[in-house]
Structure formats: C-alpha cells, structure tokens
Amino acid sequence: MDSGLKNRVAIVAASSQGIGRATAEAFAAEGCRVAMCARNVQTLQSAADEIRKRYNIEVLAVPLDVTDPVAVHDFVAAVVAKFGSADICVTNAGGPPAKAFLSTTLEDWKKAVDANFLSAVYFAREVIPHMQRKRWGRIITITSITTKQPVTDLVLSNAVRAAVVGLVKSLANEFGKDGILVNNVGPGYTATDRLKELAKSCSAASGKSEEEIFASWSADAPLKRLGDPREIANAIVWLASERASYITGQTILVDGGMYKGL
Ligand code: NAD
C-alpha cells in the first residue's frame, strides 16, 4: 500500500523515546523528512542519528520543552526554514503522574494542562498557517485510552485528555475546508518507559508486584498482551497517509481492544 507520504515533512513532538520515537521512525520509513524534539539533548540526538542512518533521510532534531510556546514557535519556524513546509504534525508529551483525585496538587493540574493540552494548542497554532498555504495538512494528537474510558488513579489524564478531544473536533470542523485533517490517537497499555513508571506507582499503591500489574494489564485487552510502540506509530502514519483522506475529527484507539464500550 503506497502511503503517498514520500518527501512530506513530519514533525513529531516528544520523540526521543517511546511512542514518539517509534512514530518518527515510522514516518522516516515512508521517506518523510522528519523533525524531532524532546528535552534531553543526548537521547534526542542519538535517536535522530539512528533514524538518519537507518533510513537515509533528513532529520532535524531540536532540544526543547513542549510546554514552552516560544520554543515551539521557533522549532516550527526552523522546520519550515529547513524543509519548506510543515505537512504533518504529531503532538505528544510525557504523561501525567498516576494519582487519585485527593492526592493531586494544583501544581499537578497545571503541569498536566501545560504538557498534555496546551502543548497541542502551541503546535496547532504554529503549523496551521503553513498547512493552509499548501491546502494540505495532518494534525494528529497522541492522548490515551482515557479519552474514552477513565482509568483508576489516572484522574489527571482522564480529565485533561478530554480537552484535547474537544480541540481536535473543533480544529477538524474549522480547517477541513483548507484540506487539513485533525485526528486523535489513544494508545492502550503500550510497552514503553512510561508504562514501567506507571507499573511502579501501581505496585506501590496496591502491594502487588510489578509483574502482576503488567499481567493484569495484558489480561484486560482481548489481544492479551501489551501494545508495541510501533503499533501505535503505524496507526498514526496511516491517519497521516493519503489512504485515510476522508477521516477527520476522530479518536482512534490503538489498545488491543481494551476499551469496553461499543
Ligand atoms: P515515554 O515516557 O516513554 O516517552 C515520552 C517522550 O516525551 C520522551 O521522548 C520524553 O523525552 C518526551 N517528553 C516528555 N515530556 C516532554 C516535554 N515537556 N517536552 C518535550 N519532550 C517531552 O512515554 P510514552 O509511553 O511514549 O507515551 C507518550 C504519550 O502517550 C504520553 O502522553 C503517555 O501518557 C501516553 N500514553 C502512553 C501509554 C503507554 O502505555 N505507554 C498509554 C496511554 C497513553
């Protein structure tokens, strides 16, 4: 299947590891020029170097914090200066800590809103004018299964991710006329460092071992296993591709069937 993505410019936020990194790599495999960012310079540069070498494509890697609107502005400007456009933008950030409601602080809420909602706003407002010029664009937000089904003790994610879905639907409505498709991808339990952190805190809270926690997550999905970050990345690339040209405003879960609703 030809994705039609060769030479497109793909920005992937928070992409030094985990789902973001797998997504940057999946776009590289389609022949895109890729722009990556994350806070840690060393991890980011080594991820970018590996992708450059393996796929023989151009990669721009800029260390930044996605909660800094000025840094996001400068990053998108640098992408357009280097590659001439910003065709695809995948928003992403680290997830909020696992906490029950009464354990959360106001600082936790502000951080979750900054990282997991406002960062998507910052990227969208920078890339949309460039996409409008080309009358083609794809914005894909990475959120969580919590957009459809709240997870116990992930109240920060359960609440803040819902705002992203509202943003996605609004942008899809407003910019469809410009050829810009906006969708949201919600991973289920996926084998990354983030999940190891979650397992640790669930283990501390429940007294169960981390192995038991991982086993219960796998058992909860009809596919009886965790997701691989590449499986989330494949769905994102497909949504960005010409093969998904009539899909916008949607939340697609990539969760091995874990979501229990219809
Ligand atoms: P991860 O912790 O493995 O990787 C997160 C990446 O984001 C890293 O590259 C990190 O450097 C970068 N990052 C974090 N905060 C940043 C910031 N402020 N600015 C710039 N870069 C930043 O996480 P992951 O598992 O790949 O998850 C990605 C997203 O998907 C998170 O929001 C997470 O909550 C969500 N999610 C993950 C799972 C899962 O099971 N792994 C499930 C549902 C949702």
Distance, in Å, from the CA atom of 205 to the CA atom of 72, rounded to the nearest integer, reads: 36
User: Encoding tokens for residue 35?
Assistant: 């722009």
Tell me how far the alpha carbon of residue 133 lies from the centroid of ligand 1, in angstroms.
31
Atom of ligand 1 nearest to the CA of 145: 43
Choose the residue to mutate in 65, 192, 202, 223 for probing ligand 1, maximizing ligand atoms within 8 Å of C-beta: 192
Per residue in 210-252, pLDDT (tens digit) is 999 999 999 999 999 999 999 999 999 999 999 999 999 999 9
Question: Residue 254 burial (CB < 10 Å; 0-12/13-18/19+)?
Answer: buried
pTM above 0.85?
A: yes
Per residue in 111-138, pLDDT (tens digit) is 999 999 999 999 999 999 999 999 999 9
Domains and CATH numbers, the chain: 9-190+228-254 (3.40.50.720), 192-226 (no CATH)
- Angle subtended by helix axes 193-206 and 210-220, to nearest 10: 110
Tell me how far the alpha carbon of residue 257 lies from the centroid of ligand 1, in angstroms.
21
The amino acid that residue 113 corresponds to is V
Q: 38 in ligand 1 pocket by Cβ < 6 Å?
A: yes
Selection from 185, 247, 233 nearest residue 34 by Cα: 233
Atom of ligand 1 nearest to the CA of 227: 40
Selection from 172, 148, 155 nearest residue 253 by Cα: 148
Please tell me the predicted confidence (pLDDT) of residue 1: 86
